[in-house]
């Protein structure tokens, strides 16, 4: 056997996109010099899945399973995705929320093999060279983070790479994006997490975060490089801090086919689930009163999409905004607060409105409980990352004034959830309509997970050849999700139907792209059947 043949054999086994493990046929082994490097048994994809399921079942906790699956993804992509699709319900919580949170915190501890691209501040002059690698020639979907706001866990620095890797695994699992066409990117501009910087195992750049003009210039270089290298690719901004998330979305959404999942994806998922919830309550959307607790990227994104939905129901702008009470760290947001961020200012209540409120505390701004007492909301949404913020007195009072309260504690991971769904059911006397951000094994409770929206939005944008992702496309996605809700039980379709959900959302989004004038492909090419036909399925060539 020649040296070249040995190199081919090693290359096939080392590349997760070409490695088949024991499933290489006898002919393939002969042609590529694989005899002896593999056990003699010729396996099948099905037998390999069975072997991995047995291994997973023998592990003691979900973090071990997460590490095992990450290693499998870096070894054999087809097997990894076939395994995930064989048990979406059981494995999605392992490869993404809630387990991915611990995966990010312990990323440096478990890092094994290169995946994706780290673009660090010291290598800022090398961006174009790094991304010029021919292995990236097929990339169509990019998920990028700078690791500063990972779920509800804060700054994880380079460990934030776990989020782009996880999100792109969901793009493949749910929207059928070929794993050869995805690229996770971590913009490593340092970390202000001292524990990470002092960890001897930390794999990132050990420096405080670059901010201000230097940060803006770094991001501009990044976007310019992406424009040149990947024209027409979809870029998803993920887990940037609140201000940066809004600034980057506003600055680049018309330059790149891009969106921010924390702002827009969360909003569409929550709004779509709300549409399903209000059908259960029988209260028209425009007759509800909404309290949103936690008004960063997710909370304010939900509020803005709600305004668009309420306006479509007939409200004018001011009336729609006045149906929403926003609470942040200091309490209810009012116009007595100075220097409100642009995303919060439009939702500030007149300070005079609370002058005669019944108050249980003497703080400068009403807290959540007092807001519940005086507003008597029908919908309570949590995006605060504050565990147990929805306590028994608050929920008892909510249920006292509302026959069927809608309560969505959406913060991730579970350790940051505003309430446990079992408690919410008990405290509302079983009358509450509950949706959670993390998965809970509680009958009738939906997981309001962005996976119901962003894969379909991305697939629809790519299928239509969209030049940008418009607000109307997310509004259409929210309505489409609401229409998919079952008539009883949890508010959302089962996780096992996520591929079908993605096709439906993609079709709606593609149709909206045509209506918005941003599509470059004709409507005849955008039927559900044709979009489904674009999806990759894990099988060995």
Structure tokens at 15: 């590349």
Parallel, antiparallel or unpaired: strands 324-328 and 257-260: unpaired
- Residue 506 · residue 459 · CB < 8 Å: yes
Alpha-carbon span 261 to 455, nearest angstrom:
10
C-alpha to C-alpha distance for 143 and 135, rounded to whole angstroms = 17
CA distance 30 to 359: 80
CA 146/CA 118 separation, integer angstroms? 10
> Looking at per-residue confidence, does 470 or 444 come out higher?
470
How far apart are the C-alpha atoms of 334 and 539, rounded to whole Å? 56
Question: What's the sign of the alpha-carbon dihedral 473, 479, 483, 484?
Answer: positive
Sequence-distant (6+) residues with CB within 8 A of 415 are: 98, 101, 152, 387
Burial grade of 348 (CB within 10 A; 0-12, 13-18, 19 or more): middle
Domain at 265-448: CATH code? 3.40.50.720
Is the pLDDT assigned to residue 38 strictly greater than 90?
yes
Would you name the residues annotated as active-site residues? Answer: 96, 167
Query: What are the residue boundaries of the structural domains of the chain, listed by start?
Result: 1-43, 93-252, 265-448, 452-533
- pLDDT tens by residue, 328-357: 999 999 999 988 999 999 999 999 999 889
Helix (H) and strand (E) counts for the chain? 23, 12
Name the DSSP class of 201: T
- pLDDT tens digit string along 145-188? 999 999 889 999 999 999 999 999 999 999 999 999 999 999 99
Q: Is 262 annotated as a binding residue?
A: yes
Instruction: Determine if residue 499 is labeled as part of a ligand binding site.
Output: no
Is 471 marked within a binding site? no
pLDDT average, residue stretch 136-146: 98
**Residue 53 structure tokens:** 């399921």
pLDDT at 445 over 90: yes
Give the pLDDT mean for 225-235: 97
**Helices within 282-391 (DSSP H only):** 297-312, 317-321, 368-375
Residue among 124, 132, 162 at smallest CA distance from 145: 162
Give residue-wise pLDDT tens across range 286-323: 999 999 999 999 999 999 999 999 999 999 999 999 99
Residues contacting 27, CB < 8 A, separation 6+: none
Supply the DSSP string of 142-166, one letter for each residue.
EEEE-SSS-TTS---GGGGGHHHHH
DSSP reduced 3-state for 113? coil
User: For 1-43, CATH number?
Assistant: 1.20.1370.30
Q: How many Å separate Cα 501 from the centre of its chain?
A: 16
Outline where DSSP puts E strands in 329-397. Answer: 331-332, 379-382
At 361 the pLDDT is: 76
Give the chain's end-to-end CA distance (angstroms, integer): 25
Q: Do the annotations mark residue 308 as ligand-binding?
A: no
pLDDT band at residue 482 under the 50/70/90 scheme: very high
Is residue 3 pLDDT above 90, yes or no? no
Instruction: Please give the mean pLDDT across all residues of the chain.
Output: 95
Measured distance CA(219)–CA(240) in Å, rounded: 12
Phi and psi based region of residue 429 (left: phi greater than 0; alpha: psi -120 to 50; beta: remaining) = left
For the record, the structure tokens of 422 come out as: 């079992």
Residue 429's pLDDT is 96
Task: Give pLDDT, residue 325.
Answer: 98
At 118, give phi and psi (nearest 5°).
-100, 115
Residue with tokens 């027409």: 232
Report the side by side order of strands in the sheet with 141-145: 117-120, 182-188, 141-145, 234-237, 257-260
Dihedral-angle region of residue 114 (phi above 0 means left; psi in -120 to 50 means alpha; beta otherwise) = beta
* Angle formed by the axes of helices 266-281 and 297-312, nearest 10°: 50
Has 112 been labeled as part of a binding site?
no
Burial of 142 (0-12, 13-18, 19+ CB in 10 A): buried
Looking at residues 464-482, what average pLDDT do you find? 97
| Same fold across 1-43 and 93-252 | no
346-386 pLDDT, tens per residue? 999 999 999 889 888 777 899 999 999 999 999 999 999 99
Tokens, residue 136 = 């990236």
d(CA 262, CA 450): 9
Exposure on the CB side of residue 275, measured as CA atoms within 13 A: 24
178 known member of a binding site: no
> pLDDT tens digits, residue range 120-133?
999 999 999 999 99
Closest to 541 measured CA to CA, from 72, 12, 20: 20
pLDDT band for 1, please (50, 70, 90 cuts): low
**Percent of the chain scored above 70 by pLDDT?**
100
Does the 93-252 domain belong in CATH 3.30.70.580?
no
Tens of pLDDT, residues 8-37: 899 999 999 999 999 999 999 999 999 999
């Amino acid at each position: 056997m020649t040296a070249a043949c040995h190199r081919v054999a090693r290359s096939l086994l080392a590349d997760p996109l070409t490695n088949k493990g024991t499933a290489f046929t006898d002919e393939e082994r002969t042609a590529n010099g694989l005899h002896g490097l593999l056990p003699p048994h010729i396996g099948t994809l099905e037998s390999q899945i069975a072997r991995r399921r047995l291994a997973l079942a023998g592990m003691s906790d979900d973090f071990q399973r997460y590490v095992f699956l990450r290693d499998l993804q870096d070894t054999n992509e087809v097997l990894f995705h076939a395994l995930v699709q064989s048990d979406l319900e059981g494995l999605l919580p392992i490869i993404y929320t809630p387990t991915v949170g611990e995966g990010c915190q312990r990323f440096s501890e478990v890092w094994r093999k290169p995946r994706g691209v780290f673009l660090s501040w010291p290598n800022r002059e090398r961006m174009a060279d790094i991304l010029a690698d021919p292995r990236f020639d097929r990339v169509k979907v990019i998920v990028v983070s700078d690791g500063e706001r990972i779920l509800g866990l804060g700054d994880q620095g380079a460990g934030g790479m776990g989020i782009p890797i996880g999100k792109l695994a969901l793009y493949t699992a749910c929207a059928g994006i070929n794993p050869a066409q995805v690229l996770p990117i971590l913009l490593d501009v340092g970390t202000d997490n001292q524990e990470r910087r002092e960890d001897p195992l930390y794999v990132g750049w050990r420096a405080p975060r670059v901010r201000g003009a230097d940060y803006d210039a770094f991001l501009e270089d990044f976007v310019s490089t992406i424009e040149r290298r990947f024209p027409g690719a979809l870029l998803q901004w993920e887990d940037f801090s609140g201000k940066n998330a809004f600034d980057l979305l506003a600055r680049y959404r018309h330059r790149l086919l891009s969106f921010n999942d924390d702002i827009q994806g969360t909003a569409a998922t929550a709004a779509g689930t709300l549409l399903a919830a209000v059908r259960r309550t029988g209260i028209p959307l425009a007759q509800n009163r909404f309290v949103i607790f936690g008004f960063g990227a997710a909370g304010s994104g939900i509020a803005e999409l709600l305004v668009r939905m309420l306006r479509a129901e007939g409200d004018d702008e001011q009336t729609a905004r006045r149906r929403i009470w926003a609470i942040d760290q200091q309490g209810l947001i009012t116009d007595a607060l100075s220097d409100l961020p642009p995303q919060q200012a439009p939702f500030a209540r007149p300070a005079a409105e609370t002058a005669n409120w019944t108050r249980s505390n003497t703080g400068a701004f009403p807290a959540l409980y007092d807001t519940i007492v005086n507003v008597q909301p029908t919908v309570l949404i949590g995006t605060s990352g504050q565990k147990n913020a929805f306590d028994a007195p608050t929920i008892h009072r909510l249920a006292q004034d509302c026959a069927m309260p809608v309560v969505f504690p959406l913060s991730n991971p579970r350790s940051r959830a505003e309430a446990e769904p079992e408690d919410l059911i008990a405290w509302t006397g079983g009358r509450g309509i509950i949706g959670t951000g993390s998965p809970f094994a509680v009958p009738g409770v939906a997981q309001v997970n962005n996976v119901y929206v962003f894969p379909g939005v991305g697939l629809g944008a790519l299928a239509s050849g969209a030049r940008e992702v418009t607000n109307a496309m997310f509004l259409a996605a929210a309505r489409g999700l609401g229409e998919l809700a079952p008539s009883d039980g949890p508010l959302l379709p089962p996780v096992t139907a996520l591929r079908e959900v993605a096709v439906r959302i993609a079709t709606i989004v593609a149709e909206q792209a045509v209506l918005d004038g941003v599509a470059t492909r004709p409507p005849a090419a955008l039927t559900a059947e044709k979009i489904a036909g674009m999806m990759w399925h894990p099988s060995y060539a």
